[in-house]
Amino acid sequence: MVLTGASLVGLVLLVWLDRSVISPRRIAQGDSPGQSAARDRTRYHGKAFRVVSVLDGDTVDVDAPDGQHATTRVRLLGIDAPEMNYKDRRPARFAEEATAFTRTRISGRQVTVHLDEGDRTRCNYGRLLAYLELDDGTVLNEAMLTEGYAYADLRFKHSYFHKYGELEASARALRKGLWAEVTRDDLPDWLQRMRPSLLAD
């Protein structure tokens, strides 16, 4: 098979996306959840870091080494923004707007990382689960919900579970952000399963 110049560029881009965006980050083998959480609290909780990359509305990289990685990948806790879906190149409805909102608010800026209570500080892909506080005191997780750029994530309990549900309900009632556009078919699969009547009419 002979690769043309355009094909070669496409292949290089695909490899870069696979390594930098899609691939999960592994946590240290042999650690108990408590050990991993304690280490994460010491390293991250209450500390400020610069955001070096925004992958989508709820996933960013900050300038703190994490194992073999030069940066730490952070997943905003308690929310689920529409996915950019880099792998198949078809962003979910309102994903580009959600990503642009996060990028505008924090790209290149300092944020303070706050971890939740309990032993679960990482998601299944090794990303750090956190609330990100901006220098004006705004919590990005909450701003995403308030402005209608994310769904309240019902799959996992956290300290602000009920508050986040209320923030989403308010944005939905005001038809802010994605709530002015999405249909039931646009909702994440998990949300369709957990709330079968949402946007059903």
Flag whether 133 is in a domain.
yes
> Structure tokens of 92?
């979910």
Mean of per-residue pLDDT scores for the chain:
88
Flag whether 20 is in a domain.
no
E runs forming strands in 41-179: 48-56, 59-62, 72-76, 79-80, 110-114, 128-133, 151-152
Containing domain of residue 92, as a range?
Answer: 31-194
Flag whether 38 is in a domain.
yes
Flag whether 100 is in a domain.
yes
Whether the pLDDT of residue 22 is over 80: the answer is: no
> Structure tokens of 42?
């010491």
- Position 4 scores a pLDDT of 53
pLDDT (tens digit per residue) in 154-166: 999 999 999 999 9
Binned at pLDDT 50, 70 and 90, residue 33 comes out as confident
Q: How many domains does the chain have?
A: 1
Flag whether 128 is in a domain.
yes
CATH number, residue 122: 2.40.50.90
- Position 28 scores a pLDDT of 52
126-156 as b/e: b if 16+ CB within 10 A = bbbbbbbbeeeeebbbbbbbbbbbbbbbbee
Look up residue 185 and give its DSSP letter. G
Enter the pTM of the model.
Answer: 0.84
Cα distance between residue 186 and residue 199, in whole Å = 10
Cα distance between residue 72 and residue 44, in whole Å = 10
Cα distance between residue 123 and residue 77, in whole Å = 9
Flag whether 7 is in a domain.
no
> Structure tokens of 188?
């994440």
Binned at pLDDT 50, 70 and 90, residue 15 comes out as very low
Cα torsion 9, 18, 67, 160 to 10°: value is: 130
Flag whether 109 is in a domain.
yes
- Greater pLDDT, 88 or 1: 88
Give the 3-state secondary structure of residue 49: strand
Give the 3-state secondary structure of residue 175: coil
* β-strands 59-62, 110-114 pairing: unpaired
Q: Which of 73, 198, 197, 83 is nearest to 150 (CA)?
A: 83
Flag whether 17 is in a domain.
no
